[in-house]
A and B are shown apart, each in its own frame.
Chain A
Amino acid sequence: MEMTLSPTQAAICEACTTILRRAAGPARARELRAEGGADGRLLDLLADAGYLDLALNAETGPLSAALVTELAATHLALAPIGVRSLVVPAVAPAGDLPNLVAIVDAAIPGPVRYAAEAEALIVIDGHEARILQAAEFTATAASTLFGYPMATVELHGKGVDLAPGSGDVARRWWRVAIAAEIAGTARAAFDLTSDHLIGRVQFGKPLAAFQAIQHRMMETHVLIEGARWLAREAAFHGAPAERAASAALAAAEAAGRTLFEVHQLSGSIGFTNEYDLTLSSLRLQALRVEAGGAAGHSKALVTGRWL
């Protein structure tokens, strides 16, 4: 795997950044936090430009899809871009699915991201998976602090079975999507914190000038970068179980450390709603426990690697 972006990948990232700067970002995230719901408008913009179907294109492939997922998260996009661009192409390549798709593992209790807004729901059931249309499930919005729309889901339709073994495939790509989303979201939280530490003067110098703080920032940075590269690598290799789980595990752990560090180092202002930190940091709370969290990823890693 090349560690630098190819000209095509670089061009995709640049073009996506332009769209995301215009259509996503903190102001839009606040707007959606107040209104509730997912950013269908952004999803349409990315779909129209072809950025949600990169995984199936031989020239771009899933790595490009992972790059877009990560980038969208850094820009605080509020839409299931990872599921749509990484999971859907792997299990429903015919391209007849709507853009707003949510995913749930029947074995994992708890609320589901974007379920109330989703036009279709991928349900993982052991080794298998099926797709339910909006009329086949009920989603009841749940109140959380995460900044994602979450809902508890009740299934009442049978849905359409996906190809045999799709449950395992979906689970693997879901892990890659989560890892890419964590890498992007943690980066947003980290960068904002870094700006704060450089700009805030105490004891006559910027907080960032204190070594005790530099060391912690450096360690957090390395964890986020590690998660980012594992996610990219897993996508590049087609999400084999071991790599996907290892990326998700590293990301969940990076999310936990990042969350702690960015809030501690931002001080009181990080505890307020007026400041932008919570727009990214609280999302990490949801991402780090999704799909079974560190425990689930660890189990998948051990199974994929040794069993």
Chain B
Amino acid sequence: MFEDDPELQAFRLRYREFLDANAPRGWRVNATSPDTTLEIQRSWLRTLVAGGWGAAHWPTEYGGMGATLAQQIVMQQENARAGAPAVTMFGMALVHVAATLLEFGTPEQRHEHMPSILRGDEIWCQGFSEPGAGSDLAALSTRAVRDGDNYIINGQKIWSSGANRADWCLLLVRTDPIAVKHKGITFVLLDLHSPGIEIRPIKSLLGSQEFCEVFFTDVVVPVSNRIGEENEGWHICQTTLATERGPYLLPVVNKLRGECAEMGRLAEAIGTDHAAQVAASFHAEVTILSELLDRTLIKAAFGKSGNESSILKVYYSELSQRLTTAALEMVGLDAQLSWPEAFDLNSDTFDGSWGMSHYWSWSWTIAGGSNEIQRNIIGERVLGLPREPRPEAKVR
């Protein structure tokens, strides 16, 4: 959909030149643990920022590039081409936190966090889900009680990706236990180094520690760390979550495109009509996905994004599962023997392991609002179908 005009072409070449001169090579060999991967990403983020190529989508006022959508897409393409490390461990900070602060944060909050994020000094995680509040997020019960200029927080979060390495947390707490459940929620920024916080990593089926349980006992959060008004958190977190269904998908869609190309080579090697047909039909679907992404991003750029990003999330995540499943079938059991050396599950280029790509794809239909929830959103808010009767409105 995006054809390079001369200006965009010049932009592409400038960035390509920067990448050729600066992008680390052979970094995967050293990315053998989350800690080493983090340092590789941190250093690359700093190089990008120093070169004027950091935070493409941020406004220049906060040190970003204020890049157009087309420019951002070009940069993603060039990143993939150069095999540059993706700064995934800073993704929550660069994308979710920035989107939330830019729309709802105070100038003080923006100035406190956005420069440190650009320096690679702040890693963020999300504290939304709870044991009793997954798909039904609004049922969350982690309590925040006002005490002068502070909130005192008690409760528990779960599935917080990367909380064990994070410095800050986007946290949803219940401030009004009596109101209709989504009306008593407040959004705060939590310093994870505060006293009273215990973090327990959970081992995933891949053996890695991707997500954590986080326990709060009388944790003090200054009221100045609140985003928006008290009890307005539900509305704000929709913005945070929607970013996960929009531009955030650019790199992963790129990765899927790479996987599809790899599948084409696989089909060619197998040499049967059936393999060719499977690869070709995935090619068509990945093309549809790319068009869908472009369209959603263009709408978003004109402030009309909203709920259609749910279509994108469902389509991407399920296509990714189907494509990697088909690849596992093409390769046979061998596909699940070779694991990449790099320890970056969110990597935006195909790393040679269909097994890793496949198992990781399982989390995409669940995380950030399960596909069941996305389907409800699409049904009710995109198609305008009547809502399913809600059995209750109060939080216990």
Binding site for B on A (CB under 8 A): 108-111, 142-146, 150, 201-205, 207, 212-213, 256, 260, 263-264, 267-268, 271-274, 278, 282, 285-286, 289-290, 293-295
Give bound CA distance, A295 to B132, whole Å.
Answer: 42
Across-interface contacts of A212 in B (CB, < 8 A): 372, 375
Given contacts A111-B334, A111-B337, A212-B372, contact A203 B329 (CB under 8 A): no
A76 → chain B closest CB, angstroms: 16
| With A142-B337, A145-B206, A268-B129 as contacts: A260 and B391 at CB distance below 8 Å | no
Interface hit among B102-110, B197-205, B238-246: B197-205
**Chain A, Cβ-Cβ closest to B363:** A271
Quick check: B366 and A264 within 8 Å, CB to CB? yes
Give B383 Cβ to nearest chain A Cβ, in Å: 15
Report yes or no: A271 in contact with B204, Cβ–Cβ below 8 A: yes
Residue of A nearest to B339 (CB): A143
With A268-B211, A271-B204 in contact, is A145–B363 under 8 Å at CB? no
Q: List 8 A-B contacts (CB under 8 A).
A: A203-B136, A203-B390, A268-B363, A272-B205, A273-B204, A278-B205, A285-B328, A289-B332
Q: When the two chains form their complex, are residues A272 and B203 in contact, meaning their CB atoms are under 8 A apart?
A: yes
CA distance A267 to B372 in the complex (A): 10
Q: How many inter-chain residue pairs (CB < 8 Å) link A and B?
A: 97
Contact partner, A144, options B204, B336, B362, Cβ 8 Å: B336
B321 within 8 A of A: yes
- Contacts A109-B332, A146-B336, A268-B366; A273 near B134 (Cβ below 8 A): no
Instruction: Write the nearest CB–CB distance from A160 to chain B, whole angstroms.
Output: 27
Q: Would you give the shortest CB distance from A291 to chain B, in whole angstroms?
A: 10
A110 engages B134 (CB within 8 Å): no
| Interface bits B353-378 vs A (CB < 8 Å: 1, else 0) | 00100010011011100111001000
Using A268-B129, A294-B329 as known contacts, say yes or no to A285 and B367 having CB atoms under 8 A apart. Answer: no
Q: Which residues of B contact A110 (CB under 8 A)?
A: 332-334, 337
Confirm or deny: B392 has a beta carbon within 8 angstroms of a beta carbon on chain A.
yes
| Chain A residues with CB below 8 A from B372, complex form | 212-213, 264
A273 x B205 contact (CB < 8 A)? yes
Separation of A256 and B333 alpha carbons in the complex (Å): 14
Min CB–CB distance A258 → chain B (angstroms): 13
Report the Cα distance A271→B204, complex, angstroms: 6
1/0 per position for B312-344, CB-CB distance to A under 8 A? 000000000100010011001110110100000
Question: With the chains together, A256 CA to B139 CA distance in Å?
Answer: 33
Q: In the docked arrangement, what's the CA distance between A138 and B206, Å?
A: 28
Residue B124 lies at the interface, judged by CB distance under 8 Å to chain A: no
- A202 to B359 alpha-carbon distance, docked (Å): 26
| Nearest chain A residue, comparing its CB with the CB of B322 | A260
Residues in B with CB closer than 8 Å to A290 are 333
In the assembled complex, the Cα of A202 lies from the Cα of B390 at a distance in Å of 11
Bound form: Cα–Cα A295–B205 in Å: 27
Whether B333 and A272, one on each chain, are in contact in the complex, defined by CB atoms closer than 8 angstroms, is no
**Among B133, B328, B390, contact of A289 (Cβ-Cβ < 8 Å):** B328
Give the shortest distance, in Å, between A210 (CB) and chain B (any CB). 8
Residue of A nearest to B396 (CB): A204
| B76 within 8 A of partner (CB) | no
7 closest Cβ contacts across the A-B interface?
A: A110-B333, A204-B392, A202-B136, A204-B391, A273-B203, A110-B334, A203-B136
Contact bitstring B229-258, A, C-beta under 8 A = 1, else 0: 000000000000000000000000000000
**Contact call A202/B329, Cβ cutoff below 8 A:** no
Indicate if B44 sits at the interface (CB-CB under 8 A).
Answer: no
Query: Which residues of B123-138 have CB atoms within 8 Å of chain A's CB atoms?
Result: 129, 132-136
B204 touches A272 (CB 8 A): yes
Produce 1/0 per residue, B122-164, CB < 8 A to A.
Answer: 0000000100111110010000000000000000001100000
Extra inter-chain contacts (16) besides given A204-B391, A268-B134, CB under 8 Å: A109-B332, A111-B337, A143-B339, A145-B355, A203-B139, A203-B390, A204-B390, A256-B325, A268-B129, A268-B363, A272-B202, A274-B203, A285-B336, A289-B333, A293-B329, A294-B329
- Are A274 and B202 touching (Cβ within 8 A)? yes
Q: Which residues of A contact B391 (CB under 8 A)?
A: 203-205
| In the complex, residue of chain B having the shortest beta-carbon distance to the beta carbon of A286 | B333
Interface 1/0 per residue, B30-67 and A, CB below 8 Å = 00000000000000000000000000000000000000
Q: Give complex CA distance A107, B203 in Å.
A: 37
Distance in angstroms between the alpha carbons of A205 and B159 in the assembled complex: 22
A205 to B206: give the CA distance in the assembly, Å. 32
Q: Of A144, A264, A286, A293, which contacts B365 at CB under 8 A? A: A264
Find out whether the CB atom of B205 lies under 8 angstroms from the CB atom of A282: yes
A73 vs chain B, min Cβ distance (A): 18
